[in-house]
């Protein structure tokens, strides 16, 4: 460890306590590798502040000597943004700032339908707090027990309720964040209308830890539906799934969630102990959760009867955990089933292009002269497909990524639907953004973080650093 790092850690111990500055390789190992196992970094220490004030002082100390900070919440991100850079060749200390101890959740404001939470509170804990007041947290995803408030805001997570409630950005009423120089930015109001200048909370949403460290968030809450029904239909074609979703809306049902799976994915989760949703397998499966007034089960049963290409179907009252389980266990099962770290690409295309895109993506595996087993699933109502390529030898990961992004570009889609860019996709941002757009993003980064201290290399790649750190 350099003299710089030594001196910094002494200062940081004074701020957060010696027990919250971890340096021993065994204790910090889990903070240096991401959920996928594909991205691994190096850091001098993991620092675990408890309060906004402590975060402010930690960032201030780092800024004074140009030390780099990688912000980490639940470490469930799938694009390598939550771990530090692979090599520290800058000569400057690098720390992981973990929000693991920042888990406070305020009392729910039942009238204003909102709740404040510290950045490290999990999605599950926030939803549990909301439920005590008869409300629900509109953000939900399979990583709910680990993913944090700071994480879902920083990645602008989508998740399974996005089709009904919108993305995480649209759930944020207020934010508190520590800027790269240690100052605290606070926009904390339950006002629904507040147009005073630039919408900085919206800008921080989706910034993946590159602009500021989010310390607290004021979230909107929603009234959950009183009754809902879950249907899983095995269908012949992607078009049949899309038709069923459209028909449900046309019949006055509210679509709460709409997920698409394939037989390859269902077979895999079944091998790992999950019940098959339908007795007869289909090439595709659509899971639809609907709410509404009246006899929604009968309406849904009628709709299923009219569905083109229907192979088989089941209906259960929500929460229908076993039906959801087959869908939600996909990510973990896929990770356990690949002989190499899974190439995970989270893309979106216009809904009308989904059938063509599914067919072309399935071909990416077949056209490869190395092992490449595709498993596709996703939030079909949002045009979002999670492309998982298993068993791909590391040296071919970039080639298959290029092929997938070629399909996406040809179908007018986006290379990142909801997971962000992280470290995984920095080389591909030009596919979705013009030079002018990328230059403007670099200018925003420079305005927030002129020394390039926060999550260097994430989103904009290594060229993102706009100024040299001060000499210390
Ligand atoms: C099983 C599984 C299912 C998933 N399903 C979905 C899904 O349906 N939809 C979806 O969108 N994602 C999904 N994800 C991805 C992941 O859960 C989300 O990206 C989530 O928002 C990450 O939250 P986190 O707390 O784990 O953040 P981390 O992984 O710790 O960090 C993610 C990014 O946010 C930054 N960050 C974290 N906290 C802060 C903070 N306080 N201030 C500033 N920056 C911060 C990090 O630097 C990093 O760039 C899934 C992941 C898994 C493993």
The 3-state secondary structure of 309-334, one letter per residue: CEEEEEEEECCCHHHHHHHHCHHHHH
The pLDDT assigned to 104 comes to 98
- Look at residues 101, 135, 158 and tell me which one is the last residue of a structural domain: 101
Half-sphere exposure of 408 (CA within 13 A, CB side): 25
Residues 129 and 215 in one domain: yes
pLDDT tens, residue by residue, 183-232: 999 999 888 888 999 999 999 999 999 999 999 999 999 999 999 999 99
The pLDDT assigned to 58 comes to 98
CATH of the domain at 236: 3.30.70.2190
The pLDDT assigned to 3 comes to 80
Residues 7 and 79 in one domain: yes
Residues 303 and 345 in one domain: no
Grouping H, G, I as helix, E, B as strand and the rest as coil, residue 209 is coil
Six-digit token string for 403: 């092929």
H/E element, 426: none
Residues 270 and 311 in one domain: yes
Ligand 1 centroid from CA 297, angstroms: 35
Residues 238 and 255 in one domain: yes
Whether residue 45 is contained in a domain is answered as yes
Res. 102: pLDDT tops 50:
yes
Q: Which of 36, 46, 72 to mutate to test the pocket of ligand 1 (most atoms within 8 A of CB)?
A: 72
The pLDDT assigned to 462 comes to 77
Residues 71 and 120 in one domain: no
Q: How confident is the model at residue 24 (pLDDT cuts 50, 70, 90)?
A: very high
Ligand 1 centroid from CA 236, angstroms: 33
CA 374 – CA 391 distance, rounded (Å): 9
Strands (E), 17-171: 21-22, 45-47, 68-72, 94-98, 114-118
- Our count of domains for the chain comes to 4
The pLDDT assigned to 193 comes to 87
288, 230 contact by CB (below 8 A): yes
Whether residue 460 is contained in a domain is answered as no
Ligand 1 centroid from CA 418, angstroms: 10
Q: Whose CA is nearest to atom 2 of ligand 1?
A: 143
H/E element, 215: strand 213-220
CA 273 – CA 434 distance, rounded (Å): 46
pLDDT tens, residue by residue, 38-77: 999 999 999 999 999 999 999 999 999 999 999 999 999 9
Whether residue 185 is contained in a domain is answered as yes
- Look at residues 290, 310, 328 and tell me which one is the last residue of a structural domain: 328
Task: Give me the domain span that covers residue 345.
Answer: 338-431
Strands (E), 221-372: 228-235, 254-262, 284-291, 310-317, 343-348
Q: Which of 138, 155, 327, 380 to mutate to test the pocket of ligand 1 (most atoms within 8 A of CB)?
A: 155
Q: Which of 147, 207, 214, 330 to mutate to test the pocket of ligand 1 (most atoms within 8 A of CB)?
A: 147
350, 383 contact by CB (below 8 A): yes
Q: Whose CA is nearest to atom 20 of ligand 1?
A: 152
CA distances 294 to 78, 252, 253, 303, Å, are 40, 10, 10, 15
- With the C-alpha atoms ordered 121, 124, 129, 134, is the resulting torsion angle positive or negative? positive
H/E element, 410: helix 397-410
Whether residue 459 is contained in a domain is answered as no
CA distances 367 to 152, 267, 361, Å, are 36, 22, 10
State mean pLDDT over 250-260. 96
- Look at residues 301, 328, 355 and tell me which one is the last residue of a structural domain: 328
Ligand 1 centroid from CA 458, angstroms: 14
Q: Which of 34, 73, 146 to mutate to test the pocket of ligand 1 (most atoms within 8 A of CB)?
A: 73
Which residues have a Cβ under 8 Å from the Cβ of 437 and sit 6 or more positions away? none
Q: Whose CA is nearest to atom 18 of ligand 1?
A: 77
Residues 270 and 308 in one domain: yes
Ligand 1: atom nearest CA of 72 is 30
Residues 199 and 133 in one domain: yes
The more confidently predicted of residues 366 and 131 is 131
CA 295 – CA 9 distance, rounded (Å): 62
Distance of CA 35 to the CA centre of its chain: 12
pLDDT tens, residue by residue, 135-186: 999 999 999 999 999 999 999 999 999 999 999 999 999 999 999 999 999 9
Grouping H, G, I as helix, E, B as strand and the rest as coil, residue 427 is helix
CA 179 – CA 182 distance, rounded (Å): 5
Ligand 1: atom nearest CA of 158 is 11
Residues 233 and 206 in one domain: no
Res. 472: pLDDT tops 60:
no
Which residues have a Cβ under 8 Å from the Cβ of 147 and sit 6 or more positions away? 73, 74, 76, 122, 123, 141, 157
Residues 66 and 132 in one domain: no
pLDDT tens, residue by residue, 388-430: 999 999 999 999 999 999 999 999 999 999 999 999 999 999 9
Indicate the average pLDDT of the chain: 94
CA 232 – CA 429 distance, rounded (Å): 36
Residues 72 and 35 in one domain: yes
Ligand 1 centroid from CA 200, angstroms: 20
Ligand 1: atom nearest CA of 148 is 25
CATH of the domain at 174: 3.30.465.10
Res. 383: pLDDT tops 70:
yes
Whether residue 448 is contained in a domain is answered as no
Grouping H, G, I as helix, E, B as strand and the rest as coil, residue 402 is helix
Ligand 1 centroid from CA 250, angstroms: 34
**Burial category of 446 from C-beta neighbours within 10 Å (exposed 0-12, middle 13-18, buried 19 and up):** middle
pLDDT tens, residue by residue, 288-346: 999 999 999 999 999 999 999 999 999 999 999 999 999 999 999 999 999 999 999 99
The partner residues of 218 in beta bridges, in order of sequence, read 116, 174
Whether residue 456 is contained in a domain is answered as no
Ligand 1: atom nearest CA of 71 is 47
Which one, of 90, 93, 71, lies nearest residue 81 by Cα? 71
Whether residue 464 is contained in a domain is answered as no
CATH of the domain at 17: 3.30.43.10
Whether residue 310 is contained in a domain is answered as yes
Res. 469: pLDDT tops 50:
no
Six-digit token string for 227: 């009754």
Residues 176 and 156 in one domain: yes
Ligand 1 centroid from CA 208, angstroms: 9
Ligand 1: atom nearest CA of 149 is 25
CA 269 – CA 197 distance, rounded (Å): 49
The pLDDT assigned to 464 comes to 37
Ligand 1: atom nearest CA of 102 is 41
The pLDDT assigned to 90 comes to 83
The pLDDT assigned to 91 comes to 85
Ligand 1 centroid from CA 235, angstroms: 32
- Name residues contacting ligand 1 (CB within 6 A): 35, 71-78, 81-82, 99, 119, 141-143, 146-148, 150-152, 154-155, 157-160, 208-209, 213-214, 331-332, 418-419, 422, 455, 458
The pLDDT assigned to 366 comes to 83
The pLDDT assigned to 88 comes to 80
Res. 79: pLDDT tops 90:
yes
The pLDDT assigned to 169 comes to 97
CATH of the domain at 395: 3.30.70.2740
Ligand 1 centroid from CA 103, angstroms: 16
């Amino acid at each position: 460890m350099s003299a710089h790092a030594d001196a910094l850690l002494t200062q940081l111990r004074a701020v957060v306590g010696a027990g919250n500055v971890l340096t021993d390789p065994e204790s910090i190992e889990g903070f240096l590798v991401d959920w996928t196992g594909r991205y691994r970094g190096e850091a001098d220490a993991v620092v675990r502040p408890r309060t906004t004030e402590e975060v402010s002082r930690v960032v201030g100390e780092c800024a004074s000597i140009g030390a780099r900070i990688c912000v980490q919440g639940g470490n469930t991100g799938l694009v390598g943004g939550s771990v530090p850079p692979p090599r520290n060749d800058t000569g400057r200390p690098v720390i992981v700032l973990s929000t693991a101890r920042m888990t406070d959740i305020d009392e729910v404001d039942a009238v204003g339908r909102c709740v404040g939470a510290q950045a490290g509170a999990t999605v599950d804990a926030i939803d549990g707090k909301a439920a005590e007041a008869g409300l629900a947290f509109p953000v939900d995803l399979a990583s709910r027990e680990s993913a944090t408030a700071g994480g879902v805001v920083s990645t602008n997570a989508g998740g399974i309720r996005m089709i009904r409630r919108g993305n995480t950005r649209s759930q944020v009423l207020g934010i508190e964040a520590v800027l790269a120089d240690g100052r605290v930015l606070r926009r904390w109001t339950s006002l629904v209308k507040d147009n005073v200048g630039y919408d900085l909370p919206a800008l921080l949403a989706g910034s993946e830890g590159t602009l500021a460290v989010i310390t607290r968030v004021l979230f909107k809450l929603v009234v959950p539906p009183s009754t809902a029904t879950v249907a899983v239909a095995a269908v012949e074609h992607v078009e049949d799934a899309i038709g069923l979703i459209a028909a449900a809306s046309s019949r006055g049902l509210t679509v709460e969630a709409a997920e698409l799976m394939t037989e390859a994915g269902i077979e895999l989760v079944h091998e790992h102990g999950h019940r098959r949703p339908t007795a007869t397998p289909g090439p595709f499966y659509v899971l639809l959760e609907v709410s509404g007034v009246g006899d929604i089960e009968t309406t849904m049963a009628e709709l299923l009867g009219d569905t083109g290409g229907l192979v088989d179907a089941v209906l259960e009252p929500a929460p229908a955990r076993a039906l959801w389980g087959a869908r939600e266990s996909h990510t973990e099962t896929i990770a356990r089933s690949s002989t190499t770290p899974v190439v995970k690409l989270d893309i979106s295309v216009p809904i009308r292009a989904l059938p063509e895109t599914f067919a072309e993506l399935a071909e990416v595996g077949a056209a490869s002269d190395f092992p490449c087993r595709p498993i596709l699933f996703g939030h079909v109502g949002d045009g979002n497909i999670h492309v998982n390529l298993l068993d791909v030898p590391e040296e071919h990961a970039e080639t298959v990524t290029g092929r997938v992004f070629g399909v996406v570009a040809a179908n007018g889609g986006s290379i990142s639907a909801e997971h962000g860019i992280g470290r995984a996709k920095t080389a591909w941002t030009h596919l979705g953004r013009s030079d002018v757009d990328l230059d403007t993003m670099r200018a925003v980064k420079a305005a927030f973080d002129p020394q390039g201290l926060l999550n260097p290399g994430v989103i904009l790649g290594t060229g993102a650093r706009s100024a040299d750190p001060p000499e210390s």
